[in-house]
Amino acid sequence: MRIFSGIQPTGSKHLGNYIGAIRQYVEGQDRGEAIYCVVDAHAITVNYDPKELRRSVYDTAAILVAAGLDPDRCILFRQGDVNEHTELTWLLSAVTAKGDLERMTQYKDKSAKQRELVSAALFFYPVLMAADILAYRTDEVPVGEDQRQHVELARDIAERFNARFGELLVVPRAVIPETGARIMDLQDPTSKMSTTASSDAGVVRVLDEPAAIVKKVKSAVTDSGSDVMRAPDKPGITNLIDILAVIRGQEPGQVEGEFNGSGYGHFKQTVADAVVDYLAPVRERYNELRPDEAALEEILEKGAEKARAIAVPILAEVRQAMGVGPPA
């Protein structure tokens, strides 16, 4: 079985990224051939600073290794080092419906926030993501809930390609955690935790110091009353229950049973302490890894060589099937 996922190199990674995606990446190393990509080509679809992008690629690579990705047990590379991704994007655009792209929720949300230029690259973002996945004949794609629609599009593209040109591409499936797939902002629990949030108060960063984490969790918006229970009208406390359940490896109901009746103060302190302990090893390891950019670059370059060894022959088959370039 082959597993693939990509992660944006924008902003400092937060608890939602860690629980929704990175944790799955680490587990995937023991379940199959795991391929993970720092998607710098995706990052240029919105306004960005080139120097900051390069720094962020190293930041993200260091966090992934610190979290437990082992370059000897997985393939970790930078998207921009494997040109097959962008070439396959163009080829797959021939079997991608414009109407499908117009319906993408993230495109609507991000384009609405662009003050100057809504780029064609932003519109094509889902096709590039499909190419990322399909270039490796991926079976499973570990993602957060917010990426479900994009993986569904990749499935549609693969099926449409196979129906027209032959069964060359694997139809992938999204793997989304049952609990913690969508960690919410601590100050606005109706919105998911985001690197681009207007306020940092509701975003727990993987690299936050313990005191900052405790302050953010204890200041989290909850709800009226004092019952520690999940409910549609209690998004704040539901979010904290989900976070603690994931960290402990429990069902949310077990957390409810333990803390219901104890009050929000005690519960928030427990969640804060658990998050601090959960992220501390990653932050400490990151601080060891991040200064050595040469070592991080070597990891990404070696990963790109391994990725190309898989993607190049698959792309050659796609080109041949589509009649592009010289005949084999």
Domain ranges of the chain: 2-175+292-322, 200-287
| Euclidean distance between CA atoms 202 and 243, whole angstroms | 14
pLDDT of residue 195: 80
What pLDDT is recorded for position 290? 97
Distance CA 165, CA 322 (A): 7
322/296 Cα distance (integer angstroms): 37
If one counts every other C-beta atom within 10 angstroms of the C-beta of residue 269, the result is 13
Domain 200-287 has CATH 1.10.240.10: yes
Q: What is the mean pLDDT of each run of 10 residues along the chain (328 residues)?
A: 93 88 92 96 92 96 97 97 98 96 88 83 95 98 88 97 98 86 90 83 95 96 84 91 93 90 88 97 96 98 98 98 93
- Integer Cα distance of 33 and 27 in angstroms: 11
CA separation for the pair 227, 184 (Å, rounded) = 19
Q: Which CATH architecture best describes the domain 2-175+292-322?
A: 3-Layer(aba) Sandwich (3.40)
Q: How far apart are CA 38 and CA 108, in angstroms?
A: 23
- Which single residue is written with the structure tokens 């710098």? 40
Contact 145, 182 (CB under 8 A): yes
- Tokens read off for 267: 């519960």
Q: How far apart are CA 7 and CA 132, in angstroms?
A: 11
Give residue 11's pLDDT: 63
* Sign of the four-CA dihedral 147, 151, 156, 161: positive
Predicted local distance difference test score (pLDDT) of residue 184: 93
Q: Which two tokens stand for residue 306?
A: 């391994």
Distance CA 4, CA 203 (A): 26
For residues 60 and 195, the answer to whether their CB atoms sit within 8 Å is no
